[in-house]
């Protein structure tokens, strides 16, 4: 007599998605009614028509760019498996990507400050166009070449668009209200676009993975061309006139020579490191006990929680909170550190893990626009790209180290890497506390070199 073993595939309840949708909807559409008598309103559109026009174009461009960013993140390991690569080869390609970011990242940031952020955003689209065309016409794609291009594109994405926004905002002498609004909208739209990229990739893929990759390459190339046209249609950007020698002197004085920038940069690096650790280890952590899990339905929960977290930012900036930005970030980083500590304890209940991961992304979605606001207060716009790219160096170096130790040598466990992520978040909380204690008035003008 045969024994029938029923298989159970765990997936999040529909109430998860309903909760994120309703909460995000209420957070956005109730805000103007509660904040209309405040001195600040993120929905106050008393700005020039030229900046409103630029803001709409910019958000449309950023949304398209985020869809491209999310389109390739869906495949990941599945694409490499379809090429017949081993686990060691996959780790190698990850190391190639982070090595590229480690070596070329600071150079790309300095280049963006010298030639203009709009051109760096064009480079971002060109990198995606090259990868799309390469994967479409090449029968045996070179994974390391595509990985290098996507790493460079990710670097440009991390600072190019934000710096382009703040430079244009300063050039038109707009109030900070409109800039704060765009910061949280960028995080919100990025998360929504990543979900859209997943939907598009899943729609294009079929039983033949290679065929789905080819269709995704076509879609990525098309989006790249459309985004390039949109960027070119915006106002022309004048050539930078600051010589490299003057730029180096200013960078040393206003970035390397300012302890507050060091605190801010360290906190950024710690968040980047912990986020990278999460995206590498979240799936192995959930399926560690051998149960089958529908990972494709869990992924949108993370991004939905980040969308919800980003909508809290205008409530904080409108005067609803008595805490300063630095105080908020101190508590947010501490909460994120506690969440990572619980995960590092290796708790195996899937439901609890998903809730903890959603909490992490929710608070990270709030931290991202807060950090962008702090960069506006402390970092000169003319040096912003170089500062952001330089702050990514320790994070990329740490990720590369743990990839080698875990992927090749197997000297450390996943829980140990998670524990280091928790330590980095507590370190970031301490750095923001020191920034709050040693920093001067956050409203001083640092943007005149």
DSSP secondary structure, 377-441, as one string: HHS-GGGHHHHHHHHHHHHHHHHHHHHIIIIII--S-HHHHHHHHHHHHHHHHHHHHHHHHH---
Distance of CA 439 to the CA centre of its chain: 26
Spatial separation of the C-alpha atoms in residues 161 and 177, rounded to whole Å: 18
pLDDT at position 300 over 60: yes
415/74: higher pLDDT? 415
Q: Which of 57-66, 145-154, 433-442 has the lowest mean pLDDT?
A: 433-442
Spatial separation of the C-alpha atoms in residues 22 and 79, rounded to whole Å: 35
Three-state DSSP state, 293: strand
Structural contact between residues 161 and 65, judged by C-beta atoms closer than 8 angstroms: yes
Three-state DSSP state, 307: helix
Q: What is the model's pLDDT at position 227?
A: 93
339: pLDDT confidence band, cut at 50, 70 and 90? very high
Q: What is the model's pLDDT at position 54?
A: 86
Q: What is the model's pLDDT at position 264?
A: 94
Angle, helices 143-171 vs 87-115, to 10°: value is 30
Q: What is the model's pLDDT at position 139?
A: 53
pLDDT at position 275 over 60: yes
Three-state DSSP state, 316: helix
187: pLDDT confidence band, cut at 50, 70 and 90? very high
Q: What is the model's pLDDT at position 210?
A: 72
202/148: higher pLDDT? 148
Geometric angle at alpha carbon 419, from 418 and 422, rounded to 5°: 90
Geometric angle at alpha carbon 315, from 370 and 392, rounded to 5°: 10
Reported as a single tens digit per residue, the pLDDT across 409-429 is 777 888 889 999 999 999 999
Instruction: Determine what percent of the chain is predicted with pLDDT higher than 90.
Output: 33
Beta-strand relationship, 292-293 and 9-10: parallel
Reported as a single tens digit per residue, the pLDDT across 150-180 is 889 999 999 999 999 998 887 776 666 678 8
pLDDT at position 316 over 70: yes
- Residue 292, strand partner residues: 9
Nearest to 39 by CA among 176, 170, 137: 176
Structural contact between residues 227 and 68, judged by C-beta atoms closer than 8 angstroms: yes
DSSP 320-335: I--S-HHHHHHHHHHH
Spatial separation of the C-alpha atoms in residues 372 and 356, rounded to whole Å: 25
CA-only gyration radius of the chain, Å = 22
Average pLDDT estimate for 271-297:
85
Q: What is the model's pLDDT at position 209?
A: 67
276/350: higher pLDDT? 276
Nearest to 371 by CA among 140, 184, 219: 184
Spatial separation of the C-alpha atoms in residues 63 and 167, rounded to whole Å: 19
Spatial separation of the C-alpha atoms in residues 223 and 232, rounded to whole Å: 14
117: pLDDT confidence band, cut at 50, 70 and 90? confident
42: pLDDT confidence band, cut at 50, 70 and 90? very low
| In the block, residue with structure tokens 């045996």 | 140
446: pLDDT confidence band, cut at 50, 70 and 90? very low
Structural contact between residues 195 and 297, judged by C-beta atoms closer than 8 angstroms: no
114 token code pair:
């010298």
Geometric angle at alpha carbon 266, from 424 and 389, rounded to 5°: 120
Spatial separation of the C-alpha atoms in residues 49 and 52, rounded to whole Å: 5
- Buried/exposed 426-447: b ≥16 CB within 10 Å, e otherwise: bbbbbbbbbbbeebeebeeebb
The number of helix segments (H) and strand segments (E) in the chain equals: 17, 2
2: pLDDT confidence band, cut at 50, 70 and 90? very low
Spatial separation of the C-alpha atoms in residues 197 and 395, rounded to whole Å: 26
Nearest to 71 by CA among 204, 235, 243: 204
Q: What is the model's pLDDT at position 235?
A: 63
Q: What is the model's pLDDT at position 80?
A: 67
Residue 444 is given by DSSP the state: S
The terminus-to-terminus CA distance of the chain in angstroms comes to 83
Spatial separation of the C-alpha atoms in residues 239 and 119, rounded to whole Å: 10
Spatial separation of the C-alpha atoms in residues 66 and 56, rounded to whole Å: 15
How many other CB atoms are there within 10 angstroms of residue 13's CB atom?
A: 10
Structural contact between residues 371 and 101, judged by C-beta atoms closer than 8 angstroms: no
Q: Which of 135-149, 238-252, 300-314 has the lowest mean pLDDT?
A: 135-149
Mean pLDDT of the chain: 82
Angle, helices 295-310 vs 14-29, to 10°: value is 20
Q: What is the model's pLDDT at position 333?
A: 96
Q: What is the model's pLDDT at position 39?
A: 42
Residues 6+ apart with CB under 8 A from 280: 94, 399, 403
Three-state DSSP state, 292: strand
pLDDT at position 372 over 90: yes
pLDDT at position 220 over 70: yes
240: pLDDT confidence band, cut at 50, 70 and 90? low
């Amino acid at each position: 007599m045969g024994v029938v073993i029923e298989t159970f595939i765990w997936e999040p309840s529909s109430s998860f998605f309903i909760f994120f949708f309703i909460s995000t909807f209420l957070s956005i559409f109730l805000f103007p009614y509660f904040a209309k008598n405040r001195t600040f309103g993120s929905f106050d559109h008393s700005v020039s028509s030229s900046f409103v026009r630029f803001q709409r174009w910019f958000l449309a461009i950023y949304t398209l760019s985020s869809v491209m960013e999310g389109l390739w993140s869906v495949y990941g390991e599945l694409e490499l498996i379809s090429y017949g690569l081993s686990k060691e080869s996959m780790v190698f390609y990850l190391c190639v990507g982070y090595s590229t970011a480690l070596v070329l990242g600071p150079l790309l940031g300095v280049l963006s400050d010298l030639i203009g952020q709009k051109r760096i955003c064009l480079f971002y689209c060109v990198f995606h166009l090259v990868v799309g065309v390469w994967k479409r016409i090449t029968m045996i794609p070179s994974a390391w070449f595509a990985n290098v291009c996507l790493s460079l594109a990710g670097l440009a994405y991390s600072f190019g668009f934000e710096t382009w926004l703040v430079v244009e905002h300063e050039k038109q002498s707009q109030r900070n209200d409109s800039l704060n609004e765009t910061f949280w909208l960028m995080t919100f739209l990025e998360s929504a676009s990543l979900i859209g990229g997943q939907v598009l990739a899943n729609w294009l893929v079929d039983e033949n993975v290679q065929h789905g990759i080819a269709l995704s390459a076509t879609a990525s190339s098309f989006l790249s061309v459309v985004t390039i046209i949109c960027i070119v249609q915006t106002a022309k950007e004048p050539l930078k006139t600051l010589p490299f020698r003057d730029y180096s002197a200013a960078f040393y004085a206003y970035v390397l020579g300012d302890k507050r920038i060091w605190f801010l940069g360290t906190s950024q690096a710690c968040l980047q490191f912990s986020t990278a650790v999460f995206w590498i280890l979240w799936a192995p952590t959930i399926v560690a006990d051998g149960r089958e899990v529908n990972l494709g339905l869990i992924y949108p929960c993370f991004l939905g929680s980040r969308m919800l977290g980003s909508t809290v930012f205008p409530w904080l900036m409108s005067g609803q909170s008595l805490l300063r930005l630095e105080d908020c970030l101190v508590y947010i980083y501490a909460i994120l550190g506690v969440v990572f500590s619980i995960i590092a304890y290796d708790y195996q209940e899937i439901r609890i893990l998903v809730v903890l991961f959603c909490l992490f992304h929710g608070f990270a979605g709030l931290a991202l626009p807060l950090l962008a606001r702090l960069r506006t207060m402390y970092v000169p716009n003319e040096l912003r790209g170089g500062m952001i790219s330089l702050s990514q160096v320790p994070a990329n170096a740490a990720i590369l180290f743990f990839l080698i130790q875990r992927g090749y040598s197997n000297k450390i466990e996943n829980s140990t890497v998670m524990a280091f992520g928790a330590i980095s978040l507590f370190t970031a909380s301490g750095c923001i506390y020191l920034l709050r204690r040693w920093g001067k008035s956050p409203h001083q003008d640092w943007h005149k070199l």
